[in-house]
Structure 1
Amino acid sequence: MAKQSEKIKSLPKSKDTQDSDFIIAKPEKTSNNELCLFACEVVFFENICQRKRNLHTLIIIGQYGIKSLNGISNLIQLRELWIVECLLKDISELQSYNSKLEKLYLYSNKIDHIPNLSNCPELILLNLSGNNISQLRNLHSMPKLREFHLANNRIRMIGDAFRDNSSLSTVNMAGNPLYQLTVVTIIRILKNKMMFYNMLWHKNSDLSTKSLKNHLKQRNLTTAT
């Protein structure tokens, strides 16, 4: 953050009076439909949402002043949202957010749950890695989800969390203290051709390699050796 602070100081103040309502210094990249704030100090997130209603892409990186997503409902044209490395915790506004959002990146924050995103029916990518999430919930609210990243959280069990996500092709659960992964879950993963990255196996897991291979052999399925 020290280098980022130096960069902020070196940038000129924004001459756009509207932009000055929510940032200090010049945006790294901006257009009518895209705004990237990773070399600026964000003052009011809510003002961004009010002033930039036509945004298709909003990227905010390393801005510790963002405490909630109040005002996000104004961005009805948004397709891609990045709010990462911001210590964000309150994401309750997303549950009532009606949008065309397709990609949502919220990694490296302080989020403790997976929100219900049934009002974002077009969502195909969700990245919640590096948060404080301990339970797999609300995945049923994202039927079109293809890519799901939840690495480095606190997940211990998967159960049937992915039962309704038939479109999923990639799931990243690396760095979670997974304790229980049932054979039924593995079979469902293989049938749906999901790709699980770097699963962390607990020494007391109820699933041994031998028992897994036996179950899969009975069902004419195979595992990589």
Structure 2
Amino acid sequence: MAESPVDVDNAKDTNPGLQSSVSVETCPGTEEIDDREDEGEKPKEILIVDPDTEELDMNHQKIKCLENLEPLTKVERLYFRWNLIKKIENLETLVTLRELELYDNQITTLENLDSLVNLEVLDVSFNRVHEIKGLGQLHKLEKLYLCANKISRIENVNHLKNLTLLELGDNKIRVIENLEGLDSLKCLYLGKNKITKIQNLDALRTLQVLSVQSNRLTKIENLEGLTRLDQLYLSENGLTKIEGLDRNLEISTLDLANNKIRAIENVQHLSKLEEFWLNNNLVDDWSSAQSLAGNKKLLTVYLEHNPVAKDPGYRRKLKIILPWVSQIDATLCR
């Protein structure tokens, strides 16, 4: 079953500075895809053994073409991860399909999907798609994964009223735009793009998870309308100040690692904050850390690789300020 490239639940147990909406390091890139045809093994054909099957797993089979699928009259889930497929085609008869995974192939265009009117999950991550299109009839779509492609613009998704998750990490997007109409969206992943500003998110009233890691942000702004936001990931940008979170009272996880922030401020009002990741910044004043004393639900604090962490009594002092925390950096408190 397709799942988000970010496991947000498990992310809290790992180094927050390494979290991203797409884990490129652990997945083969397009360079490796091209090498598959040179391994000497003949590409396989799709053979249907059980026409009544509800699930067909053809992962890592050197399949070049989507074909011979007509006998599948009851199929709900198709998995074609890590193959040699270049074109989405021959799916017209698969009206029962609910989940289609084409992760890690050689697809350049989203096309020939109109017949999949019951599709709920579509994963075309790690391909060569340049444009979001061809989704006009997928009104039941709930999760759309398009990370690690060549997409430069967010477009043609406004009609997807049931969409709860949109993954566009590791593309070439410069502007957050055209998200109006996504009334059910809960998770938006935009990590590793070229975004310079947080904007055009006011329509996403149901959003709970926002990741804009590894971009070109210099300011936290325009989040006032996201009053249900629970997890905010902004690591690896150029942020210099914690600000703009006055109305985001539901935040439980705040990731600001690997920025240029000098002071811990403007978080005292986040009464539900449990995870605060500020490692690899420029905090050099203990009075700054004292401002976390009002966050009584805080469980984990990452402040390593800040100037204050060089203090020989770093952990002891932080524990005195925050006696209720259970983890400081990667180490559990005793």
Answer yes or no: same fold by TM over 0.5: yes
Determine which of 190, 199, 215 is the counterpart of 1:176: 215
Inter-CA distance 117–43: structure 2 relative to 1 (3 Å threshold):
closer
How far has the Cα of 1:180 moved from its partner?
A: 2.9
Q: What is the Cα-based RMSD across aligned positions, in Å?
A: 3.4
List aligned pairs for 1:79-158, cutoff 5 A. Answer: 79-94=120-135, 96-158=136-198
Task: Check whether the contact 1:156–1:177 (CA below 8 A) recurs between aligned residues.
Answer: yes
What is the aligned-residue identity percentage? 20
Report the alpha carbon displacement of residue 78 of structure 1 after superposing the two structures with TM: 0.2
Aligned-residue offset at 1:84: 1.0
Say whether residues 1:67 and 2:108 are aligned partners: yes
Shift of the 70–170 alpha-carbon distance from structure 1 to 2, 3 Å rule, reads same
Q: CA deviation at 1:6?
A: 6.9
Find the aligned partners of 1:6 and 1:62 in 2 and give their Cα distance.
Answer: 17
Check the 8 A contact 1:97/1:120 in 2, yes or no.
Answer: no
- Equivalent residues of 1:118, 1:142 under 8 A apart: yes
Shift in Å, 1:197: 1.6
Take 1:198 and 1:8, find their aligned partners in 2: how far apart are those partners? 44
For residues 98-151 of structure 1, the C-alpha deviation after alignment (integer angstroms, 9 at most, x for no partner) is 420000100000011112323211100010000000101122221110011110
Residues 187-198 of structure 1 aligned to structure 2 (within 5 Å): 188-189=225-226, 191-198=227-234
Give the superposition deviation at 1:4: 4.6
Tell me if the contact between 2:76 and 2:99 (Cα under 8 Å) persists in the aligned partners.
Answer: yes
Q: Which amino acid aligns with 2:229?
A: K
In the alignment, what sits opposite 1:14? 46
1:201 shift after superposition: 3.8
Q: Report 1:154-169 matches (<5 A).
A: 154-159=194-199, 161-169=200-208
Counterparts in 2 of 1:128 and 1:8: CA distance versus 1, 3 Å = farther
Give the Å deviation of 1:199. 3.0
Counterpart residue type for residue 232 of structure 2: F
The answer for unaligned runs of 5 or more in structure 1 is 26-30
Matches of 1:39 and 1:155, distance apart in 2: 29
Aligned length: 208
The match for 1:54 is 96
User: 1:183-216: CA deviations, max 9, x gaps?
Assistant: x53x555x43331124334266795776952xx7
Tell me if structure 1 keeps the 8 A contact 2:87–2:108: no
